[in-house]
Amino acid sequence: MHASPFERLGAMPPVSPVVMSVPHAGRDYPLALKTALRVPLSGLLPLEDRLVDAVARAARTDQTTIVQTRARAWIDLNRSEDERDPLLDEGARSLPPMQQSAKLRSGLGLVPRRASGAGDLWARRFTDAEVTARIANDHRPYHAALAAALAAAQARFGVAVLLDVHSMPQLAPGGTRIVLGDRFGHAAAPRFVTRVKDECIARGFSTAINAPYAGGHILERHARPATGIHAIQLELDRTLYLDRKLHAPGAGFPRVVDLVRSILAALADEALSIPLAAAAE
């Protein structure tokens, strides 16, 4: 595999203070992944943020956007490099369960071991060399591209805002449809979260903050609100924009695209509404 594991849309340096990230919608399943499976390839689909990249592509206007094309089952960009699963990965450190992250304990580490409805995914363990290569070839390039885009946006505008776009299963019939994560206030100034929530509510979407998703490694790694780089994780209920089989765009797709476009515009407006000097404080 030599092709880039991600696609960058938009200008570099960015022409907007808002940068978008889509880390979990990749549909490139390498042969080395397929040959290691103990379940049908369809068993990996619950790991995908199914077609949320199509939402992001349709919603973006001028925002620099990084879209991962390699499948999350190959490597999860929203996990840190050290969240390696000792039950799956021969190069992982053996840590007591209490020292492992909750995601790692549940089988959703850097290389996912399990998927909802499919159980254990792999017919064998992976070598240290295999996982190390995925980190070097897929994980690090994505994060480097995202960091470069955010740094360039901040250099131009004095502030940068990352919108990290994901999708989630339906939490409950009639329940919350949008979840915003800011790592409990550590990833973004409250005014950005408020603007996004207001856009969601104005368009009739029930919205929660940090429950049950507060943001993962991408926010932890890239958000630096004290120095002018803010980040929000956006979780969209898949049933809002997919068909009943959760396979293709559904009747609600245009409404969700309109929501995300309005969020991007609101974040840019908020970012540009304060003086350059104040943005960097």
Decide if pLDDT at 61 tops 50.
Answer: yes
pLDDT for residue 117 is more than 90: no
What do you get for the CA distance between the two ends of the chain, in Å? 43
φ/ψ bin of 158: left (φ > 0), alpha (ψ from -120 to 50), beta (otherwise) = left
Count of H-run helices and E-run strands, the chain: 9, 9
The structural domains of the chain, ordered by start, are 6-76+138-273 (3.40.630.40)
Least confident range of 86-95, 207-216, 242-251 = 86-95
Buried b (16+ CB within 10 A) or exposed e, 151-183: bbbbeebbbbbbbbbbbbeebeeeebbbbbbbb
**Does the pLDDT at position 281 exceed 60?**
no
Beta bridge partners of 164: 21, 233
Query: How many alpha carbons lie under 13 Å from residue 196 in its C-beta half-sphere?
Result: 31
The 10s digit of each residue's pLDDT in 2-20 is: 578 999 999 999 999 999 9
Q: Which residues pair with 179 in a beta bridge?
A: 208, 235
